[in-house]
Amino acid sequence: MPDNWEWFIKNFELLSHIDLTAYKRPQMERRINSFMRSASVPDYKEFISLLKTDANLYRKFLDHITINVSEFFRNANHWEILEKQVIPGLLKNRSELKIWSAGCSTGEEPYSLAMMLKENRVNLTDKILATDLDQEVLAKAAQGIYTAKAAQGIPPAYLARYFTAQGENYQAKDELKNMIKFQRHDLLKDNFNKDFDLILCRNVVIYFTEETKSKLYRRFADAMRPGGVLFIGSTEQIFQARELGLKSVATFFYQKES
């Protein structure tokens, strides 16, 4: 039957290379059906042919299913633990850190990191790797321009030091931008680099099935050096941490055993 859910996800993958089987089905199905209703599309077959021909609709649909919301210093108390406890701990054994922000959306997370690292004069082995599935959010991230509302999450002293006002908006200075390498990367399909001291993957896996999450956490564990730390989102937990050789060093921070 060429018009059921399985048919849709297969054809959507051919079009977008995005594998929707890895995402929680009820949530995803609801989001897709509500999008189709609001666009007055009667069935999956028609929807796929529209997605192929209407670039605007395709873009809107991607925005709808990837959920790109982000904030500077999201969950400020966890960033404080990162700054005061986790990073100093990592620097006990290494003079330079290798860092990845996975699922970085429009860049608030890697820019928050860059500011924190600058303030603490932390050296990096390389630029912060900041990746996402979605090219469009990465293009915004690379521009580094944020509305005054988005910039509210930036401490005023940091805003003054690392951003320039541009009309109603704020633009990240080059010294910040030069610390980050934005790159498209699909966590479900692409290879992971190795030897990270710190990986942030926050508010990304919430949409994945339990099986996908487990596989992903294993790959993150493999991508870290012994002693490396994984920083996750405030609604997340790694149930099989021990099995993966990870131990919780603070809530939402998991360290790879040395």
Ligand X SMILES: C[S@@+](CC[C@H](N)C(=O)[O-])C[C@H]1O[C@@H](n2cnc3c(N)ncnc32)[C@H](O)[C@@H]1O
CA distance 157 to 256: 34
CB of 185 to ligand X, least distance (A): 6
Least separation in angstroms between CB 233 and ligand X = 6
Q: What angle do CA 250, 125, 198 make, to 5 degrees?
A: 20
91 vs 136, beta carbon nearer ligand X = 136
Near ligand X by CB under 6 A: residue from 204, 224, 230, 232: 204
Contact map string, positions 215 to 234, toward ligand X, x by CB under 6 A: ------------------x-
- Residue 220 carries which side chain, given as an amino acid letter? F
- Only one residue has tokens 């060093």, namely 249
Collapsed DSSP state (helix, strand, coil) of residue 240: coil
Binding mask 103-142 for ligand X (x = CB under 6 A): xxx--xx----------------------xxx--x-----
74 sits near ligand X (criterion: CB under 6 A):
yes
Q: Are 2 and 45 in contact (CB under 8 A)?
A: yes
Measured CA angle at 95 (ends 92, 98), to 5 deg? 105
Q: How far is the CB of 6 from ligand X (least distance, A)?
A: 20
Smallest separation, CB 113 to ligand X (Å): 11
- Nearer to ligand X (CB atom), residue 49 or residue 135: 135
Tokens of 171: 């633009």
Of the ranges 7-15, 99-107, 115-123, 219-227, which one interacts with ligand X (CB under 6 A)? Answer: 99-107
**What residues does 102 pair with on adjacent strands?**
131
Cα–Cα distance, 42 to 54 (Å, whole number): 16
Cβ proximity to ligand X, 11 vs 105, nearer residue: 105
- The tokens describing 182, both together, are 């934005």
| CB of residue 172 to ligand X, shortest distance in Å | 16
- Binding ligand X (rule: CB under 6 A), the pick from 11, 70, 112, 255 is 70
> What is the smallest separation between the CB atom of 111 and ligand X, expressed in angstroms?
11
- Could you write out the DSSP letters of every residue in 4-58? SHHHHHHHHHHHH---GGGB-HHHHHHHHHHHHHHTT--SHHHHHHHHHH-HHHH
Give residues in contact with ligand X (CB under 6 A): 66-71, 74, 103-105, 108-109, 132-134, 137, 186-188, 202-204, 233
